[in-house]
Copies of this chain bind each other. A is one copy, B any other.
Amino acid sequence: MAQEEPRYQLVKDFILSGINAKQWKEHKRVPSENELVEMCKVSRMTARRALDELTEEGVLYRVQGRGTFVAPKKLHSPLLEIRNIAEEIQNRGSSYSNELILLQKESCPVHLLKHFSLNEGDEVYHSIMVHKEDGKPIQIEQRYVNPTAAPEYLKQDYKSITPNVYLSKVAPLTEAEHQIQAKEADPFMKVTLKLQELEPVLCIDRITWSDTILVSYCQLYHPASRFSLTGRFKTKHQLTEL
């Protein structure tokens, strides 16, 4: 028969299945090394190896003397973190507000049919809003949302919750794709973002998935004079394919 998995892998699978079954939620203590010895009939070092690897992978965190706990999930991109814009603005001591310009169901634009795996005539949800800091517009967000992933999208009060936050709840992000471009501002952007003459916009196109379901396609427009993306990286040794 097929080659057996190592026993430490079976312990990892046991822990992961418990987490996936919501048996242990974020920050909950998972069974100790000694408990795993009993439960999985392995040695402590084998149990420990499993917990060590899950820790290395970011699934768990360990505190000497206290236990091993489930780590919270976080989408990790140093440069393009998908953040809660309202929280971000509040965190820098400013006040956040937004202006909802459009929120409706409509036929899926042709250029997005393939993305959403839809046929012509099928519908998606479409929203346009402007995010403001201290009353000043800083970002236009245009978004198409897959009705399958978020059926109640149109019914939310976006004065009290941003689309990102809502979507994170109903269709938690597992994957994202970004494209960054510079673009000429069109008249709508010029007026809405109060751009200067000839000022371009920095555009971020973002597609997000929840498991295998494409959740949303959004475009974020920022005034070029007042917005930039920054990131910092360090060398990392890396194993090449042999």
Which A residues have a C-beta under 8 Å from some C-beta of B?
Answer: 55-61, 63, 71-80, 172-184, 198-203, 222, 224, 227-240, 242
Q: How far is the CB of A240 from chain B (nearest CB, A)?
A: 6
Q: Could you list some 19 contacts between A and B, CB below 8 A?
A: A55-B239, A58-B237, A63-B242, A71-B238, A75-B234, A76-B233, A76-B236, A79-B79, A79-B231, A80-B231, A80-B233, A172-B235, A175-B234, A175-B235, A178-B231, A180-B230, A181-B182, A182-B200, A184-B198
B183 A224 Cβ-Cβ under 8 A: yes
In angstroms, Cα B200 to Cα A179, docked, is 16
Q: How far is the CB of A53 from chain B (nearest CB, A)?
A: 9
Contact residues in B for A80 (Cβ distance below 8 Å): 79, 231, 233
Interchain CB contact (< 8 A) of A236 among B55, B58, B232: B58
A239 B180 Cβ-Cβ under 8 A: no
Residue of B nearest to A197 (CB): B184
Residue of B nearest to A70 (CB): B237
13 further contact pairs, Cβ within 8 A, besides A77-B233, A79-B178: A57-B236, A58-B238, A58-B239, A61-B240, A80-B231, A173-B235, A176-B233, A178-B232, A179-B230, A180-B180, A180-B230, A200-B224, A202-B202
Contact residues in B for A58 (Cβ distance below 8 Å): 236-239
In angstroms, Cα B201 to Cα A199, docked, is 11
Residue of B nearest to A207 (CB): B232
A71 B237 Cβ-Cβ under 8 A: yes
Residue of B nearest to A210 (CB): B235
Residue of B nearest to A59 (CB): B237
Contact residues in B for A238 (Cβ distance below 8 Å): 58, 71-74, 76
Residue of B nearest to A235 (CB): B174
- Most B-side CB within 10 Å, residue of A72, A79, A175: A79
B59 A232 Cβ-Cβ under 8 A: no
B228 A181 Cβ-Cβ under 8 A: yes
In angstroms, Cα B228 to Cα A229, docked, is 14
In angstroms, Cα B155 to Cα A24, docked, is 62
- Most B-side CB within 10 Å, residue of A74, A179, A181, A230: A181
